[in-house]
Structure 1
Amino acid sequence: MSQTPEPPSPPRRLLRVVRAWIRSAPGTYVWLLILAATSFVVARIDPANLDWFLASRSTNLDHLRSDPVHVLVASALWTESSSFLLYFVLFNLFHANAERWLGTLRWLIVAATAHVLATFVSEGVVAWGIARGRLHDDLADTVDVGVSYALAGVVAVLTYHFAGRWRLLYGGGVLVFYLLPLITSRTFTDLGHFSAVLVGLGFFRFARGRPTWDPGLVYRRWQAGRRHV
Structure 2
Amino acid sequence: MPRETPSHAPGGEPSRPIRSWVRSSPGTHVWLAVIAITSLCIALSPDGLDHYLLHRNSSNLYELSRHPMQALLGSAFWIENPASLLLYAVLFEVFHAPVERWLGTVKWLVVVATAHIAATLISQKVVLEAIQDHDVPRSMAHVVDIGVSYGLAASVGILTYRLPRPWRWFYLAGAVAFFAVPLVTNHTYTDLGHAISLLIGLAFWPLTRHVPDKPVVHAGASDPH
Asked if the contact 1:161–1:211 (Cα under 8 Å) also holds between the matched residues in 2, the reply is no
SS at match of 2:144: coil
- Structure showing greater Rg: 1
Q: CA deviation at 1:46?
A: 3.6
Please tell me whether residue 29 in structure 1 is matched to residue 37 in structure 2. Answer: no
- Per-residue Cα deviation, 1:42-96 (whole angstroms, up to 9, x for no partner): 1122454422221110000011122111111110111101022111100000000
Q: Say if 1:134 and 1:198 are closer, same or farther in 2 by CA, change over 3 A.
A: same
- Measure the CA separation in 2 of the matches of 1:115 and 1:171: 20
Matches for 1:49-198 after TM superposition, within 5 Å = 49-82=49-82, 83-198=84-199
AA aligned to 2:172 is G
Query: Which residue does 2:14 correspond to in 1?
Result: 14
Q: CA deviation at 1:8?
A: 2.5
Asked if the contact 2:123–2:190 (Cα under 8 Å) also holds between the matched residues in 1, the reply is yes
AA aligned to 2:139 is D
Query: Which residue does 2:221 correspond to in 1?
Result: none
Query: Which residue does 2:210 correspond to in 1?
Result: 209
Identity rate, percent: 42
- Measure the CA separation in 1 of the matches of 2:60 and 2:35: 20
Please tell me whether residue 38 in structure 1 is matched to residue 28 in structure 2. Answer: no
Q: CA deviation at 1:211?
A: 5.2
Please, which runs of 5 or more residues in structure 1 have no aligned partner?
A: 214-229
Q: CA deviation at 1:212?
A: 7.1
Q: CA deviation at 1:135?
A: 1.1
AA aligned to 1:179 is A
Asked if the contact 1:161–1:212 (Cα under 8 Å) also holds between the matched residues in 2, the reply is no
SS at match of 2:182: helix
Q: CA deviation at 1:20?
A: 1.3
If the length of structure 2 is used for normalisation, what is the TM-score?
0.89
Q: What root-mean-square deviation, in Å, do the aligned CA atoms of Structure 1 and Structure 2 show?
A: 1.6
If the length of structure 1 is used for normalisation, what is the TM-score?
0.88
AA aligned to 1:67 is H
Please, which runs of 5 or more residues in structure 2 have no aligned partner?
A: 215-225
- Measure the CA separation in 2 of the matches of 1:89 and 1:10: 29
- Measure the CA separation in 1 of the matches of 2:94 and 2:115: 18
- Measure the CA separation in 1 of the matches of 2:173 and 2:111: 19
Query: Which residue does 1:225 correspond to in 2?
Result: none
- Measure the CA separation in 2 of the matches of 1:6 and 1:153: 44
Aligned residues: 213
SS at match of 1:76: helix
**Which structure is higher in RCO with an 8 Å CA cutoff and minimum separation 6?**
2
- Measure the CA separation in 2 of the matches of 1:11 and 1:106: 36
Q: CA deviation at 1:171?
A: 1.2
Query: Which residue does 2:200 correspond to in 1?
Result: 199
AA aligned to 1:128 is E
